[in-house]
Amino acid sequence: MNFSELIPFSGGSRLASFSPSGFYLAEAAQFRANVRDSKSLELLQSFACADQITDLAWSPDSLFLMCVMRKRALVQVWSLEHPDWACKIDEGVAGLVAACWAPDSRRVLTTADFNLRVTVWSLTDKTVAYLKHPKACSKYIAFSSDGCLLALAERRGLKDCVSVFNCGGDTGWQLVAHFDAGTEDLDGLAWSPDATALACWDGCLRSRVAIFSPTGTQLHTFSAYPLERGLGTKCVEWSPSSQFLAVGCYDGSLRLLNNITWEPLAEMRGQTCVEPPPSSSASSSGIVAYREIESPSGLPRYEASPPGDPPIPIPVVKPDPSKPNPKVGIGAVHFSPCSRYVAFREDSQPGALWLWELNRLKPSALLLHRNPVRSFAWDPSAFNPPRLAIVTGTPCVYMWSTAGCLAAQVPLMDRCGAFVITSVSWHPDGDALLLTSDADACVCFLESGGAAGQAG
């Protein structure tokens, strides 16, 4: 691993990112948006904005950079091919809570305060379209992978519903389906990667997921347990192959639905104690656990649990019932690009990261860290073996692959001392990592085709 110098910026994972093409790295520093070469980190462009940037987003074709200034309800769009060209979108008194790109990279969607409306702005012909009644929930907009369909969560007449629009071509945003969401308090929606199914789910009060076809035909409704048993759905994620839908609940279980019958194939749960394999060979009765320890030199490293070791207890943090948003349940889940593995974190076990192999529907590994897992991401490159990068709010970055695990300390110091990493993301080619803290960013360059080494 080779680490770049620290790049000061405004802080936060939404203010630094690689472009989808992988050629550029953008980062926001107060009023300026800087574009760098992703390999050399040479500064290529610097754009001055009207106010402090709160969000930064690349267009899907990597030719435009959008800077969002929520305090002034303003969006500015810059062109990398034509630096003299600029676009300014002013929501004015309507306010601004969010902005995103349409898949064609030529239209921008903005959401007004209190989710009064979603406005579609065209950068080419300057036309404007309005989508009414968007619901204020975590994921109220979802584009299909082919960019042809937009699903919008709505709240009309005290009922949740979904509108599907055709956003491809030059025919405008035409309504193609409108249907009841099948939920009581819709919290989000997501298209399957093959765009054949749309999942809609309730929030924390009810564990219910409704699945629809693009035309609004209800395919299935899944409830993990009755309402009286506890809190509901916390996170939902499709596998890249569209074969599986992972439903994480507040009861600490991750349920894996199949795309044929939509019934659970497996129920994955973070255990409080794991038993290592009884022998050096892989065993279905044990889990390989990698524990973070401090080496004699003071540097962190992983230690694999030897075969036949006693059961390993997993630290559990008891949530405070007097505080909102209890730290309990499946807080994050991510599938590997090949859909062979799924990694998830149970929030009451903040330092533990579970990995399941979907071919066997069995746990493959357990990564135990001394600090809570803050962010983890899979290598997106299809040419590399499955690799997982993890950060825990320390100056260290951790990696897992089928070959083993490694831990590396970033030898950099920021203005406050050690470089505390809070977020990690991959370069599209899988040859670099973007590590960010609250005030600085760093690029970690990996050896070409390299994978995580053996434990330790």
More confident residue, 416 or 442: 442
Q: What is the SS3 assignment for the chain?
A: CEECCCEECCCCHHHEEECCCCCEEEEEECCEEEEEECCCCCEEEEEECCCCCCEEEECCCCCEEEEEEHHHCEEEEEECCCCCCEEEEECHHHCCCEEEECCCCCEEEEECHHHCEEEEEECCCCCEEEEECECCCCECEEECCCCCEEEEEEEECCEEEEEEEECCCCCCCEEEEEEECCCCCEEEEEECCCCCCEEEEECCCCCEEEEECCCCCEEEEEECCCHHHCCCEEEEEECCCCCEEEEEECCCEEEEEECCCCCEEEEEECCCEECCCCCCCCCCCCCEEEEEEECCCCCEEEEECCCCCCCEECCCCCCCCCCCCCCCCEEEEEECCCCCEEEEEECCCCCEEEEEECCCCEEEEEEECCCCCCEEEECCCCCCCCEEEEECCCCEEEEEECCEEEEEECCCEECCEECCCCEEEECCCCCEEEEECCCEEEEEECCCCCCCCCCC
Amino acid 287: pLDDT: 81
Question: In the prediction, which pLDDT does 171 show?
Answer: 61
Q: In the prediction, which pLDDT does 453 show?
A: 41
Length of the chain: 456
The Cα-based distances of 125 to 106, 128, 130, 143, 265 in angstroms read 10, 9, 16, 22, 49
Q: What is the band of 439 on the pLDDT scale with cuts at 50, 70, 90?
A: confident
Residue-averaged pLDDT of the chain:
90
Model pLDDT, residue 452: 47
Residue 246: HSE in the Cβ half-sphere, 13 Å Cα cutoff: 29
Q: Is the pLDDT of residue 70 over 80?
A: yes
Average pLDDT rounded to a whole number, residues 53-71? 96
Specify which of 175-189, 217-231, 284-298, 301-315 reaches the highest per-range mean pLDDT.
Answer: 175-189
| Choice between 262 and 323, residue whose per-residue pLDDT is larger | 262
In the chain, what percentage of residues exceed pLDDT 90?
A: 69
Distance CA 356, CA 279 (A): 20
pLDDT of residue 17: 95
Question: How confident is the model over 321-334, as pLDDT tens digits?
Answer: 778 777 899 999 99
Per-residue pLDDT reduced to its tens digit, 93-144: 999 999 999 999 999 999 999 889 999 999 998 899 999 999 999 899 999 9
Contact partners, residue 221, CB within 8 Å, separation at least 6: 182, 208, 209, 210, 211
| Confidence (pTM) | 0.92
Name the band, by pLDDT with cuts 50, 70 and 90, for residue 454. Answer: very low
Residue in 68, 129, 77 with CA at minimum distance from that of residue 97: 68
Q: Which pLDDT value is given to residue 241?
A: 95
Taking domain 133-269, whether its CATH number is 3.30.70.1560 is answered by no
Note the pLDDT of residue 282.
Answer: 47
Quote the pLDDT of residue 95: 94
Instruction: Give the mean model confidence (pLDDT) for residues 219-248.
Output: 90
pLDDT category at 280 given cuts 50, 70, 90 is low
Residue 285 pLDDT class (50, 70, 90 cuts)? low
Predicted confidence band at 311 (pLDDT cuts at 50, 70, 90)? confident
Per-residue pLDDT of 335-366, as tens digits, reads 999 999 999 999 999 999 999 999 999 888 99
Q: Which two tokens stand for residue 259?
A: 């795309």
| The pLDDT of residue 447 is above 80 | no
Which of 51-55, 227-231, 389-393, 426-430 has the least mean pLDDT? 227-231
